[in-house]
Amino acid sequence: MSIRLDPRRLAALKLLAAESGLRPGELVTQWVRERLDTARAGGDVAPAAAPAVDGTAFAALEARVEELARRVEELAARAEGAAPAARAAAEAAAPAEAPLRRARPRKQATAAAEPAAATSTTRARKAARAEAVVDGAGRRIRLHEEIIDIIRERGPMSAAELADAIRERGRYAPPRSAKPLDAASVNARVSNPVYRSRFVRSDGKIGLADQG
């Protein structure tokens, strides 16, 4: 058997049970027994162990229950009013975070620059292959090879002397250019990261690394 009570009466029952040192179910059971005993005796018998609660005390309990209910409603109303304010604050703060999200492409730009730097050596090698000249025997001649051959024959020389010697030999000519080979081109090839390990510079002259 179950008993349903509205929230206010249930709260009053709990308060009465707490004041009597009983659980709500025990207090209800006690009341039911007393009513049954009274009905069997056929008279009005005052409850012996029931808590003595007059109309004034019960009204005070109801007032306390109503006060508690009112406070709960106020707290619920405050929570509902705070929710829109919290959402508005979050929406107002959202634009401030947007620049941080837009800053991510800078990392991508930096990452894109790294492969470009890594391919500089490959580009230099391709340029060297493009400028190669074919001699009378059909052999491809590259500028750094011509420099190495002349240094092996004549010893260390300055960039200007190497340029003169290469022009005298006539086996190499700068591709895609009508200008004759000059000292700047020789210096650029000797300083190229792909070939500079083969050369050494000393006293303004260029020599071969393997001839130390």
CB of 28 within 8 A of CB of 13?
A: yes
Quote the pLDDT of residue 148.
93
Provide, for the chain, the percentages of residues in helix, strand and coil under a 3-state DSSP scheme, each rounded to the nearest 5.
70, 5, 25
- For the beta carbon of residue 133, count every other beta carbon within 10 angstroms: 15
**Residue-wise pLDDT tens digits, 141-167:** 889 999 999 999 999 999 999 999 999
Please give the C-alpha separations between residue 173 and each of 19, 53, 179, in angstroms, as whole numbers.
114, 121, 9
**Residue-wise pLDDT tens digits, 17-72:** 888 888 878 888 888 888 888 888 876 555 444 455 556 766 776 777 777 767 77
Average pLDDT of the segment spanning 178-203:
90
Quote the pLDDT of residue 9.
78
Quote the pLDDT of residue 160.
94
**Cα 114-115-116 angle, rounded to 5 deg:** 90
Which pair of tokens denotes residue 45? 């018998």
Quote the pLDDT of residue 43.
60
Quote the pLDDT of residue 125.
58
Quote the pLDDT of residue 39.
83
Between residues 116 and 9, the one the model is more confident about = 9
Quick one: 83 exposed, middle or buried, by C-beta within 10 A (0-12, 13-18, 19+)?
Answer: exposed
What pTM, to 2 d.p., does this model score? 0.38
Mutual angle of helices 143-154 and 159-169, in 10-degree steps = 100
**Residue-wise pLDDT tens digits, 95-126:** 554 455 555 656 555 555 556 555 666 666 55
